Structure 1
């Protein structure tokens, strides 16, 4: 096998859960890709489908580009890969905001949904704060720990969409 390189960060939508990983459609190109178990997250506990993003969820991914051409589009959503670390996780490093993230902003939680919370930014825009983005570890944040309606939060909106991430 040739050298492994990573493509640019892209947005994809989870299309399927398989025993071996995820099916993902890339938003811009429409290409269908695969994400094997070990490419879903840096934490190996995420090999358990309980921790996977839902079908229909929008996720950030990168293509694995091999030295030899291959018809199969291989993807990763590992945070270490988002930072360009091809072969592993660098725990002591603090990662900067991902590509496409805007400056941190203040907002107010306006609704709870089954997927997370809606936040009205001070600019008036409404964004989605997904449950998986409120996680501080491998266990999802139970709804009782989500910020309450009316509570002020600090988020970092994605420039390419309405989904926000905790800052």
Structure 2
């Protein structure tokens, strides 16, 4: 059975158009769950990833999942979760929304309200779409980026305090 599985993976990898790193990672995916509490809400990010080819290569990950629970209500979403205006903006810059992965998460308190903050990255680069921030209120509602609770320096300061999420970034 084991030889058959390895043989099947070898054939599939030989036929794959996506590149060698995905094939080298075949069968070595591991699921991680990272959690934080943010006011009355609990936020969980689930990432299923395989280690990159070496210590400098990005990990290979499947789409992440988010669960946010508050006051008995549970909301789940596939990530990246962005509003339509942000998706349009990324596509206009020739970026790909599917390349964004949450690499950090945190909680910010602004004017007596708590917001779960997710920081997305494509794993490097300086293009406008290579990093992205999203915020959720305590009920789990995704906020429009025009109504974002933090801007500029406040976000940069927060980044250092945010919890690292197991995903595309090498350890």
Question: Of Structure 1 and Structure 2, which has the larger fraction of its residues in helix?
Answer: 2
Q: What TM-score comes out, normalization by structure 2 length?
A: 0.26
> Quick one: higher RCO (CA 8 Å, sep 6+), 1 or 2?
2
Question: Of Structure 1 and Structure 2, which has the larger fraction of its residues in strand?
Answer: 1
